[in-house]
A and B are shown apart, each in its own frame.
Chain A
């Protein structure tokens, strides 16, 4: 850690990761890049790799990237912390959250 060279970079925008790619499943087909209404992603310069999330701050969480992905599990939704919904088991009263 102490030997690591650090670049000076600005704060990351928030929210920063509206989706999470699974590099073991994603084959870099870029369907999500094309169906996104607002161009949140760009193709990875390395073919076959998951796209890069370039504009996470513009995501409107429309979900087409996840809905239309041909490889289940390659891309999953990642709600920002404050947007994660709650539910309650009716029988036990146990509370859960996304």
Chain B
């Protein structure tokens, strides 16, 4: 065994820290464009800026080769209406996609226009996006000319849409006169991240792996002014990093575990790894950037700590594309998402209810199973080997099943529907909702600061991160060309250095896990399903006490634990932002999953607007923006991208 304890038992002592300790050292690095976060959005931003000739520095908390939510893989290029097999117009599709309250029309338009360009470029870099080995000839959706594999996901309407409510609407979609949209392409996403890192290196991007960015530096150290750089911490050596930049792009992820008490259980049942701690949002907030939709969060779909983890949506792989049967082999009336249905990820609530009732009456016997053997051979392979075999964390899950003897042509895969229950309402997630307010250049409200991917408000999927990262990269590079040198404030750097290193000055007190649990508990009690002015204010008070009383006790024994401690401080800031945003919205809202007990009216017209918030002179300042504040998407996009020479030339 290779556990720490087995080492201890064999050697009689703990292993030495394997990396040099450099707490007292610092490095200063200059960049035209500084990219913070080396996931999908960050890599694309770095590549795009470097292609414009900018001197690019990329800072990543893990190792860029596999970091980020899309690090292990990706099975769907989700929104690529400009592809040659698509049946929809990208601009019309963008409008259709943005016809949802509290989405981000700017990002969606960019994705719809440029996602196909990203895909082709990815292929040039070495990513696999077509069935070049002819493994899936005969699969529905495979285009024999281009060898693209159109996915059965969202075939006619997008599943993010409210489900059709009436029988007539359902009929319309089931027997739709609409053509298949063909906007989603299946991809071999496990090839992507290494290809992106290699392209970054080829273009001379200077990559700093295992460095957590801890703060943004602003002109003269003043909140709300131009961003001129950032500070970082090497999580292996403890070295302090100072980055100076003309433009910076934030491309980190949202907060993965604000409501999760157990850090251990968070690991294997959360969509997001522990490293997803909202660092970017927290540092942008402290720098004075405006955020929006921060009050939006929802019940965790899979991250209960007790569920089997496949991926989001339906929750387990026995479902998507696969007919579900009960323990006696009786077919269940679930939609088989895809070709034979209207492309939904989940059944209608009333179908779910009928199934539940029939379980109680004994008509359906638990557990349920995904009937892989009943599928046509090529469709089964496309689902098991390609869709599940290439998607993020499911890649290793399918491997584990295969190694243990599971054979999808012979065996039914157990479904955990109904037998593992629902998530509790106080187990919530906010990683796909709030974020930085951006304009049509993906610039934030601070000069010199851009945002991409999950860093923006209302982000979408992997391909969205790619397209917006690539876009932010070229806009930031253009800005960097026309601004003068930046000057960083030594005083601001010194203050941040003192903040970062405080926990290593102590060897006892409170460790990061306890702080994490304390934050989560405060959010579960005071900012969960039921919100009222007084509960939220109690929440703010509790978080303030944590800041005043617990944070000064924090200790970290090594650079890794120091990083985890700094992540908790990001989560603490993030939690405070969420509570402040929740206080600002004095109305309940269905699309925001937001229930104010003291303001029960649902989505009253006067509250159908974005709430924005930022820090100004250290005080929270609330603002608002109308829905669809981005204007005419096609016109706005075209006005700002006249010189763009992408692949899409109109249909």
A interface residues with partner B (beta carbon < 8 Å): 7, 9, 12-18, 20-21, 23, 34-39, 42-45, 50-64, 66-68, 76-77, 79-80, 82-83, 85-91, 96, 98
Contact = CB atoms under 8 A, between A and B. Distances in A.
A11 to B, nearest CB: 10
A57 B267 contact: yes
A14 B513 CA distance: 14
Contacts of B264: 13-15, 57
B348 interface: no
Given A15-B267, A76-B403, A89-B412, 10 more contacts: A7-B8, A9-B8, A37-B68, A60-B267, A64-B66, A77-B396, A85-B397, A87-B411, A87-B412, A98-B400
Most A Cβ at <10 Å: residue of B4, B16, B68: B4
Given A34-B63, A53-B4, A90-B410, A83 B309 contact: yes
A90 B414 contact: no
A7 B406 CA distance: 42
B274 interface: yes
A63 B399 contact: yes
B446 interface: no
A42 B18 contact: yes
Interface in B219-277: 235-236, 263-264, 266-270, 272-275
Interface string B28-63: 000000000000000000000000000000000011
Contact of A53 (B3, B275, B309, B397): B3
B18 A43 contact: yes
Interface bin, chain B: 35 or more
B411 A96 contact: yes
Contacts of A67: 72, 190, 395-396, 399
Given A53-B4, A83-B308, A90-B412, A58 B263 contact: yes
A58 B512 CA distance: 12
A21 B268 CA distance: 19
Given A60-B268, A67-B399, A98-B401, A82 B306 contact: yes
Nearest to B367: A86
A36 B273 CA distance: 11
A55 B3 CA distance: 9
A90 B327 CA distance: 10
A50 B224 CA distance: 49
Given A67-B72, A90-B373, A60 B270 contact: yes
A35 B396 contact: no
A52 B2 contact: yes
A79 B65 contact: no
A64 B2 contact: no
Contacts of A54: 4, 15, 560
Interface in B400-433: 400-401, 403-406, 410-414
B369 interface: yes
Contacts of A63: 72, 393, 395-397, 399
20 contacts: A9-B5, A12-B5, A14-B264, A23-B2, A37-B275, A42-B18, A44-B15, A57-B264, A57-B267, A63-B395, A67-B72, A67-B190, A67-B399, A68-B66, A79-B400, A85-B397, A87-B369, A87-B406, A87-B412, A91-B410
A33 to B, nearest CB: 9
A12 B9 CA distance: 13
B1 interface: yes
A38 B273 contact: yes
Contacts of B329: 90
B369 to A, nearest CB: 6
A17 B3 contact: yes
Interface of B: 1-5, 7-8, 12, 15-16, 18, 62-63, 65-68, 71-72, 190, 210, 235-236, 263-264, 266-270, 272-275, 306, 308-309, 329, 367, 369, 371, 373, 392-393, 395-397, 399-401, 403-406, 410-414, 560, 564
- Nearest first, the 3 A-B pairs at minimum CB distance are A63-B396, A60-B273, A86-B414
Given A59-B267, A61-B396, A35 B63 contact: yes
Nearest to A20: B1
Contact of B401 (A34, A59, A68, A85): A85
B138 to A, nearest CB: 23
Contacts of A64: 66, 71-72
The B contact surface, by secondary structure, is loop
A36 B71 CA distance: 10
A77 to B, nearest CB: 5
The A contact surface, by secondary structure, is loop
A39 B235 contact: yes
Contacts of B15: 42, 44-45, 52, 54
Contacts of A20: 1
B125 to A, nearest CB: 18
Most B Cβ at <10 Å: residue of A9, A76, A85: A85
A96 B413 CA distance: 10
Contact of B399 (A17, A34, A77, A87): A77
A61 B267 contact: yes
A39 to B, nearest CB: 6
B405 A96 contact: yes
Most B Cβ at <10 Å: residue of A15, A55, A60: A60
Given A55-B560, A98-B400, A61 B410 contact: no
B160 to A, nearest CB: 25
A90 B411 contact: yes
Contacts of B412: 87-90
A62 B406 contact: no
Given A61-B268, A89-B410, A52 B4 contact: yes
Contacts of B373: 90
A62 B369 contact: no
B399 A83 contact: no
Contact of A66 (B273, B399, B406, B413): B399
B439 to A, nearest CB: 31
Contacts of B65: 34-35
Contacts of B268: 15, 18, 59-61, 79-80, 83
B66 to A, nearest CB: 4
